[in-house]
Amino acid sequence: MRTQVGIVGAGPAGLLLSHLLHLEGIESIVVETHTRRHVEERIRAGVLEQGTVDLLNQSGVGGRMRREGLIHHGIELRFNRRGHRIDLFELTGGRAITVYGQHEVVKDLIDARLQADGQILFSVDQVSVHGFDGKSPSIRLRSAGEPLEIVCDFIGGCDGFHGVCRPSIPADALRNYEKVYPFGWLGILAEARPASEELVYSNHERGFALLSMRSPVLSRVYLQCRPDEELEEWPDDRIWEELQLRFQTDEGFRLNEGRVVQKGVTAMRSFVAEPMQYGRLYLAGDAAHIVPPTGAKGLNLAAADVRILSRAMANWYRNRDGGLLERYSQLCLRRVWRAQHFSWWMTSMMHRPDGGSEFDHRRQLAELDNVTTSRAAATNLAENYAGLPFEVI
């Protein structure tokens, strides 16, 4: 098979890249190891920055998001049994976030690609990438048991943190920066009305907790746990009991409880591979960088990467100008590192430190006091949370 851009991975990065390239008149084939059902049902991120929302709308895939997404103008930071609202909208001059599940974005993108006769090969295996140090890269795989080779001009490495693209780059050509945190998140999806209209990030001496949602009747709630926490140790009753403690306020706040329909543990890390390109292989999204989820940045960074990559490729096809492609990594990394800093900062301000040092807890409370009483500090949080403006290219 032959196409212009071969894309490894049908997560948000790969699918949005394929869609944006299509709008530029560039053909692509996406290959994915999981089934369509699996990628459409995988519960992950939930917060879209204003810029991501604008990008989805401008590229014609925002219809359902506009109908079903929940627009939030603020978030709450809770500590010392009291809530403090950060007014994102007012502090950023009118920016907001939209709560709309990543799997819904994925469904919308798959629909758009298939309606435009785009090719997505699901359930493939033995994927490998070749020849990207020359002019004719290729992706080899097995599809329905048959070997297949896709020859292309460029490869989009959008296969997430555990994919094959990044490890295929010679080790001495990449530099990895990494920080692993001594905690994780136990997340549940529950059939319960969210007890707050806006997200609540709670710093509690027993550990961090986050109340989010997927709809007016579905709560998405997380609690800080060990990175290797065994789910068997957390029957639903224990989860609710712990969550009620961590969200307690002097006004008697209670979470609404309901049937738990999904449960999982995620370990946390910060990671960046530099540069995000090698020859004709371009990494985007989690394949190139990971942030801890406290800043809600992962999916948004993936969207920002492929926005730049699609424009850089369009410039090459249209004008045979490879300038933007050469600068792809450099153009992405500024935003990536800003998001790394913000995500690390939110994580260290909100989580119970390893060993539970009393000094660190007092320092966190002082920082939260600052963020919730100083307009300058709150504005800094709001600008980063709602999303920095895109790079002008």
Q: In 3D, which of 373, 159, 166, 164 has the Cα closest to residue 285?
A: 159
Binding piece for ligand FAD, criterion CB under 6 A, among 41-49, 231-239, 249-257, 352-360: 41-49
Rounded-to-integer distance, Cα 281 and Cα 218, Å: 40
**DSSP strand pairing (119-121 vs 28-31):** parallel
Alpha helices in the chain (DSSP H): 12-23, 36-41, 50-58, 63-68, 88-91, 102-115, 165-168, 236-247, 298-319, 323-326, 328-350, 358-373, 375-386
Which of ligand PHB, ligand FAD, none does 286 bind, CB closer than 5 to 8 A by kind? Answer: ligand FAD
- Interface pattern 255-284 for ligand FAD (x via CB under 6 A): -----------x------------------
- Tokens 């060990």 belong to 226
DSSP letter (8 states) at residue 69: -
Q: Considering only residues 20, 21, 31, 200, which one is a binding residue for ligand FAD as defined by CB under 6 A?
A: 31
- Interface pattern 160-199 for ligand PHB (x via CB under 6 A): ---------------------------------------x
Rounded-to-integer distance, Cα 264 and Cα 354, Å: 21
The β-bridge partners of 179 are: 270
Shortest distance, position 2 Cβ to ligand PHB, whole Å: 39
Q: Considering only residues 108, 159, 198, 229, which one is a binding residue for ligand FAD as defined by CB under 6 A?
A: 159
Q: Considering only residues 6, 9, 69, 74, which one is a binding residue for ligand FAD as defined by CB under 6 A?
A: 9
Give the residue with the Cβ less far from ligand PHB, 71 or 148. Answer: 71
Shortest distance, position 96 Cβ to ligand FAD, whole Å: 15
Q: Rule CB under 6 A: is residue 220 a binding residue for ligand PHB?
A: yes
Binding piece for ligand PHB, criterion CB under 6 A, among 140-148, 256-264, 293-301, 365-373: 293-301
Residue 48 structure tokens: 């879209």
Burial class (CB in 10 A: 0-12, 13-18, 19+), 307: buried
Which of ligand FAD, ligand PHB, none does 225 bind, CB closer than 5 to 8 A by kind? Answer: none
**DSSP strand pairing (125-130 vs 277-278):** unpaired
Q: In 3D, which of 141, 177, 170 has the Cα closest to residue 288?
A: 177
Q: Rule CB under 6 A: is residue 347 a binding residue for ligand PHB?
A: no
Q: In 3D, which of 102, 112, 5 has the Cα closest to residue 301?
A: 102
Which of ligand FAD, ligand PHB, none does 51 bind, CB closer than 5 to 8 A by kind? Answer: none
Query: Is 194 an annotated catalytic residue?
Result: no
Phi and psi angles of residue 86, each rounded to the nearest 5 degrees, phi first: -105, 115
Binding piece for ligand PHB, criterion CB under 6 A, among 41-49, 109-117, 329-337, 356-364: 41-49
Distances (CA, A) of 264 to 60, 233, 234, 235, 260: 33, 12, 10, 12, 11
- Tokens 């140790």 belong to 233
Q: Considering only residues 16, 26, 30, 47, which one is a binding residue for ligand PHB as defined by CB under 6 A?
A: 47
Nearest 5°: the CA angle 328, 159, 315 is 30
Shortest distance, position 34 Cβ to ligand PHB, whole Å: 20
Binding piece for ligand PHB, criterion CB under 6 A, among 141-149, 272-280, 291-299, 300-308: 291-299
Query: Is 282 an annotated catalytic residue?
Result: no
Which of ligand FAD, ligand PHB, none does 294 bind, CB closer than 5 to 8 A by kind? Answer: ligand PHB
Burial class (CB in 10 A: 0-12, 13-18, 19+), 35: exposed
Catalytic hit among 72, 73, 204, 289: 72
Query: Is 135 an annotated catalytic residue?
Result: no
The footprint of ligand FAD (CB under 6 A) covers 8-14, 31-34, 39, 44-47, 102, 127, 158-160, 163-164, 187, 266, 285-286, 293, 296-300, 302
The footprint of ligand PHB (CB under 6 A) covers 45-47, 199, 210, 212, 220, 293-294, 296
Catalytic residues: 72, 201, 293, 297, 385
